[in-house]
Amino acid sequence: MGRLADDLFAFENSYATELEGFYVPWQGDVAPEPKIVQFNRDLALELRLDPEQLASPAGAAFFAGSEAPDGASPLAQVYAGHQFGGFSPRLGDGRALLIGELIDRHGARRDLQLKGSGRTPFSRGGDGKAVLGPVLREYLMGEAMHALGIPTSRALAAVTTGQEVMREGPQPGAVLARVAASHLRVGTFEFFAARGETDKVRQLADYAIERHYPELAAADDRYLGLLRGVSSRQAALVAQWLSVGFVHGVMNTDNMTISGETLDYGPCAFIDEYDPMAVFSSIDHQGRYAYGNQPAIAQWNLARLAETLLPLFDAEDDDEAVRLATGEIEAFPAIYEAFWLGMMRRKLGLSRGEDGDLDLVNDLHDVMAQHSVDFTLLFRGLADRLRGEGRATQALLDAPAALDPWLARWMTRLERDPRDREASADAMDRVNPVYVPRNHKVEEALQAASDTSDLEPFERLLGALERPFERRADLEEYEGGAPEDFGPYKTYCGT
């Protein structure tokens, strides 16, 4: 097996050098037989890496965590988190290592992390491993979200380790190499705040500002600005999630980023039929992280972030600090709604806002909920309808005439829009996907990969999801919802 060239990676290690005490230096396990299962060439090029070298056996050993290349400073990050509302004071990377940071083609700093590379001091009862199905799931979901234009961590590679890992039965052990704007979480702040280490919270906030909100560096009350910035990015992110029918599934504070990217694809799923209470995660018994609850949970999580920052605000006393924080948190619903309404207007072909749009949008959602309508097909179908094409949106409803009054209102509203119909329909096609990761297709692809090492269904599905807005005749099987016999869908955490 060859070696990776010494200059393959130009790692920077700002987390390691600027945040001592926020991590433990650590090495991955040696994998017996590392093999690349999936490799993201385009992302490698974006990161200014040499795809040929990475796609080699030496690259596979690197991705499995077995070999730390020159310049890397692998470490496990510490963090805490509220999980389903209860506080865990010490979580941390139990099966992941931050390898280093890379400056991409656009000058952006990106973390390279390996997930599934073995036990760390934060593993608690876990084995530190990951298995192929969930690794490919995260790969697929991240790439799908990216192609939908939604901020997200992305997969650089998926490798198998050659080791069996016990879950419900023996599974192929695997590692996901993922890239993120950073892995700073609300839970990272909570870890130090809970220990009363205000200086460390300030150090972390300064690091976060420099990395993600540099415009705040010289601003008045920059820590309040940080809270406002994270709130705004999370509001935009969750609005985007809802606009495509995405349910994250485990919005614990340790899975909520400071950068505003989607992170930690565990039990996530896309809805077929619109249902605000849709829940897929096997452990979310109360529906805390249901589709329609996500904005409220984001606000709840931001309140936890606000609490960690209270001592840093420019305030006369504690009461004033609490007042400032409360003001930001209470502003969240209106900020969220503005983002969401903006997205919904685009989905409905409206190029400008008018009073009354919120009612129009809400009433459409009411009809969808009452008549079990497929969310993705309906929005995509509306543009066809506008062009006068046959793909009947009514056929998506259990009572075909139920949408007619709403359609008439929408048409009247569109007549007041300055764009012509064709232009509106084309604009709608650029924001309403044809292809989202349908649960039954995801399962089919992962099962073939895990059970028979057949990657063909995975790669075909990935190919559809990489260009989600462009209907292709040979990909019709990816358009609809699950067949009846697929049954209710359940997803699992931490697998």
Query: Which of the choices Mg ion, ligand AMP, none does residue 243 contact, using the CB cut-off of 5 to 8 A by kind?
Result: none
Q: Is 183 in contact with 263 (CB distance < 8 Å)? A: yes
- Minimum Å gap between C-beta 186 and ligand AMP is 12
Contact status: 163 vs ligand AMP (CB under 6 A):
no
How would you label 179-209 residue by residue, b for 16+ Cβ within 10 Å and e otherwise? bbbbbbbbbbbbbbbbeeeeebbebbbbbbb
Closer residue to Mg ion, CB minimum distance, 143 or 264 = 264
Q: Which of 28, 74, 92, 133 binds ligand AMP (CB under 6 A)?
A: 92
Q: Print the binding letters for residues 177-196 with Mg ion: x by CB under 5 A, - otherwise.
A: --------------------
Contact status: 94 vs ligand AMP (CB under 6 A):
yes
- Minimum Å gap between C-beta 476 and ligand AMP is 35
Q: Which of 100, 266, 295, 481 binds ligand AMP (CB under 6 A)?
A: 266
Contact status: 14 vs ligand AMP (CB under 6 A):
no
* CA separation for the pair 181, 300 (Å, rounded): 23
Q: Which of 57, 85, 126, 327 binds ligand AMP (CB under 6 A)?
A: 126
Neighbours of 475 (CB within 10 A): 17
Query: Which of the choices Mg ion, ligand AMP, none does residue 21 contact, using the CB cut-off of 5 to 8 A by kind?
Result: none
Q: Is 193 in contact with 204 (CB distance < 8 Å)? A: no
Q: What's the alpha-carbon Rg for the chain, to the nearest Å?
A: 23
By beta carbon distance, the residue nearest Mg ion is 264
- Minimum Å gap between C-beta 134 and ligand AMP is 9
* Token pair belonging to 293: 């609850």
29, 93, 111, 254: which is the annotated catalytic residue? 254
- Minimum Å gap between C-beta 260 and ligand AMP is 18
- Minimum Å gap between C-beta 271 and ligand AMP is 21
Q: CB under 8 Å to 103, separation ≥6 — which residues?
A: 10, 12, 48, 109, 110
- Minimum Å gap between C-beta 94 and ligand AMP is 2
User: Based on the number of CB atoms within 10 Å of its own CB, is 73 exposed (0-12), middle (13-18) or buried (19 or more)?
Assistant: middle
Closer residue to ligand AMP, CB minimum distance, 81 or 468 = 81
Handedness of CA 336, 337, 338, 341 (dihedral sign): positive
Neighbours of 299 (CB within 10 A): 20
User: Based on the number of CB atoms within 10 Å of its own CB, is 334 exposed (0-12), middle (13-18) or buried (19 or more)?
Assistant: exposed
Residue 142 phi, psi (nearest 5): -60, -45
Q: Which of 153, 255, 294, 376 binds ligand AMP (CB under 6 A)?
A: 255
Neighbours of 360 (CB within 10 A): 19
Closer residue to Mg ion, CB minimum distance, 67 or 93 = 93
* CA separation for the pair 106, 179 (Å, rounded): 15
250-269 positions binding Mg ion, by CB under 5 A: 255, 264
**Nearest partner of 303 among 341, 329, 333, 334, judged by Cα:** 329
Query: Which of the choices ligand AMP, Mg ion, none does residue 261 contact, using the CB cut-off of 5 to 8 A by kind?
Result: none
Q: How far is CA 212 from CA 75, 110, 152, 216, in A?
A: 21, 11, 14, 9
**Which of the stretches 124-132, 229-237, 353-361, 444-452 binds ligand AMP when contact is defined by CB under 6 A?**
124-132
**Which of the stretches 123-131, 307-315, 320-328, 406-414 binds ligand AMP when contact is defined by CB under 6 A?**
123-131
Q: Which of 95, 154, 248, 345 binds ligand AMP (CB under 6 A)?
A: 95
* CA separation for the pair 296, 332 (Å, rounded): 9
Query: Which of the choices Mg ion, ligand AMP, none does residue 127 contact, using the CB cut-off of 5 to 8 A by kind?
Result: ligand AMP
Closer residue to ligand AMP, CB minimum distance, 39 or 79 = 79
Contact status: 400 vs ligand AMP (CB under 6 A):
no
Contact status: 264 vs ligand AMP (CB under 6 A):
yes
Indicate if 426 belongs to the active site: no
Helices (H), 64-122: none
**Which of the stretches 11-19, 93-101, 211-219, 416-424 binds ligand AMP when contact is defined by CB under 6 A?**
93-101
* CA separation for the pair 286, 289 (Å, rounded): 8
* CA separation for the pair 477, 174 (Å, rounded): 29
* Token pair belonging to 225: 């600005």
- Minimum Å gap between C-beta 90 and ligand AMP is 9
Query: Which of the choices ligand AMP, Mg ion, none does residue 455 contact, using the CB cut-off of 5 to 8 A by kind?
Result: none
- Minimum Å gap between C-beta 92 and ligand AMP is 6
Q: Roughly what angle, to the nearest 10 degrees, separates helices 198-212 and 222-244?
A: 60
- Which residues form the interface with Mg ion (CB under 5 A)? 255, 264
- Which residues in this chain contact ligand AMP in the complex, by CB under 6 A? 91-95, 122-123, 126-129, 250, 255, 264, 266, 493-494
Catalytic residues: 254
